[in-house]
Amino acid sequence: MNANQDEDESPIAMEIKGTLPNDLQGHVFIIAPSGLPFEDGTAFLNGNGMIYRLDFDRPGEAKLQRKLANSPDYCADTATQNIELLKFQNYGIVRFSWLLGSRNQLNTAFLPMKFSGEQNERLLVTYDAGRPYEIDTKTLKTVTPVGNLEEWEAEITKPKYPLPLILSTAHPVFDVHKSQMFTVNYGRSMLNLLGIIVKGTEAIISAIKLNKNLTDRERQKPISIFSRLELLLRIACNLKNPDRNFVILMRWDGTNGLKKWKLVKSDNSPVKLSQSIHQIGLTEDYVVLMDTAFVTGIEQVVNNFPDLPILDERRLFARRPSPNSILYIVRRDDLKEDRSTVVAHQVTIPREAAHFLVDYENPNNKITLHIAHICAWDIAEWLRRADKFPKENSLVPSDLLGTQQGQMDISQMGRHIIDVNKLGESEPLIESTFMSHSLCTWGPGLCTYSPSLGMTPNKLDNIYWVSFGLWKELTIQFMYDMYKHYKYRQVPLDKLLKLAEQGVPSCLYRLHTLSMTIPDYYQCEKGYLLLSPQFVPRLNSEESSTNGYIVCTAFTPERDEIWIFDAEKLNKGPICKLSHPTLNIGLSLHTAWLNNITERQASYKIPVKEDYQSLVNNWLEFIDTLKTLKEQDKHQIKKEIKELFEQEIYTNCESDIMSA
């Protein structure tokens, strides 16, 4: 799998095989990490966000336009690639510079929004480790973050980086009925990580002692591994601070500043996360947050040492995601503007998850969740140099490094109805229904539903999912060992290995939520992979959750394509395939659909220099306190940082924003 970073000045015509439906309409947006594969075997989830827009606004035509999400940290990354002092490196699924901070790669998902009184839809692009950014749907330019840096809290506060690592959700939500957007900002004191960092420090020192040549070579670098070690230890000193446990729920009206509430338990203690909030959900009366089985942030930085190939870092630092899903439910009526905190009620659902959907309606105070339980699958992990196939002594091929590793059990589709009438008084009653399908539910990762029902559907009756499938090439010993004693196991490990040997192909399927059955599906040929599904309603037709088309990415042994299915007849296969000689998508992720696109009209914008300058000034003072740097190196680093912001970021990014 590979993904180039080619951009288009204007839409290009796609090659059409089959019949392009005349009632296919609007614009499909797809986001994917680009620039793959990396030479160091970095995870395919890492990479600059590439925005793809497919235009179906002219009968008989399909056009494509591509543009990188170029936030200020993207400008910093491209400008420092040849500056040894400042350049960014890949650390698992995040990208980090020890002397600048973290990348907000904007490579994960979108959120369409249409605020009251506005004529046009607006679109956010998102990432788990950064603020969401609004883009211009016509030009695809990255325009502005939501909220300035003073409105957000960084995960690392000491030292306070000029490009801070901000943890949020890749899936904020929008209430079309009340014209409100919700997102989160969170941090972890990470006392659980303090031991990891101590072990990491010991491992680095041991690796250096074992390889004197590495030590000599590193000592010659202006920013050596010893300086990075100093920074790592300074970060660790702040990790034990219990105040770093926070979850802040944010509400935005599209125009003004963010409204914020810190989540607390009923005893007023802060909500503590062990993993991440990859997704949140919204009903008419409640906000639902999940501690998802997906780990990002500083944990990725200490879980990957590209400078020390002799260090098997994952054996030291990996921890298995929780086998349960922890939910936090907040009453929207409790979000009073004269309060700074709000009570979040904890609910536990068996089996882990990363993605879920919620019915907007909550009749009789009953919340309905639709969850893809990715059983025994750590989606934040990838194939690494030391990985071997189960019960074999052979390493995985080098051309697979960076690919998602395979799951160690079949996934379960879950529907959970939570009675919250006595929320806070007693454990809520939960009516759970689980199902799996021997062909379809191997790694359901991405889904779609009819956007014609509204951005926040009252009731989801049909959801379309794509599954990753089960691949022998991605089934590794490390994950076999990690999930050997998985508590919710459905498929015995020996049987799973036999199934992986045979292979279970990727599927596109429709889940009927009321009956919890799969009435329609399409299974690919072996060696094919479907990702990034998007429902497109038929033009001028009756509104229905199945009356439309599913547009998705298809990775074939020959090339990358866009496939189009009739949403009512998945089993008939794709009715149309789109391609282009320059189309190399990579591991595409989430999607959005807009009926119309237009140049952005909203006035909300955060000025770049105003956003960053105080952090830059504080950082330049901090550089002087580093003990492992020589004075001449400190002077050079400060000079490079000043020039970077003044000549590159403030000049180029500010002009891009003003022209958007």
Residue 222's pLDDT is what?
A: 43
**pLDDT confidence tier of residue 165, bands split at 50, 70 and 90:** very high
| pLDDT surpassing 50 at residue 215 | no
Given a cut of 60, is residue 199 above it in pLDDT? no
DSSP string, 588-650: ---EEEES------------HHHHHHHHHHHHHHHHTT-TTS-HHHHHHHHHHHHHIIIIIII
- Is 344 a domain residue? yes
Report pLDDT for 511: 99
Domain membership of residue 3 (yes or no) is no
Q: Name the percent of the chain lying above pLDDT 90.
A: 69
**Which pLDDT does position 218 carry in this prediction?**
46
pLDDT tops 50 at residue 498:
yes
* 228-237, 239-248, 253-262: which is most confident: 253-262
**Residue 171 marked in a binding site:** yes
pLDDT of residue 4 exceeding 90, the answer is no
pLDDT (mean) for 338-345? 96
Alpha-carbon torsion (190, 192, 196, 199), positive or negative: positive
**Domain residue limits at 18:** 12-375+410-469+504-659
CATH number of the domain that 442 lies in?
A: 2.130.10.10
Whether 278 has a binding-site annotation, put simply, is yes
User: Would you say residue 574 lies in a domain?
Assistant: yes
Residue pair 73/59 in contact by the 8 Å Cβ criterion: no
Q: CB count, 10 Å around CB of 58?
A: 8
The mean pLDDT of 227-252, rounded to a whole number, is 71
Q: Is the pLDDT of residue 289 over 90?
A: yes
**494 occurs within a structural domain:** no
Q: What is the mean pLDDT of the chain?
A: 88
**Residue 237: predicted pLDDT:** 57
The secondary structure of 271-284 as a DSSP string is: P--SSB--BEEE-S
Q: What pLDDT does 455 receive?
A: 63
Is a pLDDT exceeding 50 seen at residue 220?
Answer: no
Residue 203: C-alpha distances to residues 98, 126, 209, 336 (Å): 19, 34, 10, 49
**pLDDT higher than 80, residue 454:** no
Burial of 241 by CB count in 10 Å (0-12 exposed, 13-18 middle, 19+ buried)?
middle
pLDDT at position 36, please?
59
Query: In this predicted structure, what is the pLDDT of residue 658?
Result: 52
Gap between the Cα atoms of 14 and 64, Å rounded: 7
Confidence of residue 626 (pLDDT cuts 50, 70, 90): confident
| DSSP string covering 178-240 | TTEEEEEEEE---HHHHHHHHHHHHHHHHHHHH-HHHHHHHHTSSS-HHHHHHHHHHHHHHHT
Whether 390 is in a domain gets the answer no
> Is the pLDDT assigned to residue 212 strictly greater than 70?
no
User: What was the pLDDT predicted at 158?
Assistant: 80
Q: Would you call 451 helix, strand, or coil by DSSP?
A: helix
How far is 274 from 277, CA to CA, in rounded Å? 10
Q: What number is the average pLDDT over the span 126-149?
A: 97
According to the model, what pLDDT value does residue 139 have?
96
Is 169 within the bounds of a domain?
A: yes
Q: State yes or no: pLDDT of 435 exceeds 90.
A: yes
Can you give the pLDDT at residue 656? 58
**For the residues 248-271, what does the mean pLDDT come to?**
96
Q: Are 591 and 15 in contact (CB under 8 A)?
A: no
Residue 610 has pLDDT above 60, yes or no: yes
14 pLDDT exceeds 60? yes
Number of Cβ atoms within 10 Å of the Cβ of 136: 20
- What's the number of domains the chain is made of? 1
Which of 147-151, 195-199, 350-354 is least confident? 195-199
Residues 526-575 pLDDT 10s: 999 999 999 999 998 888 999 999 999 999 999 999 999 999 999 999 99
Token readout for 180 is 């409100």
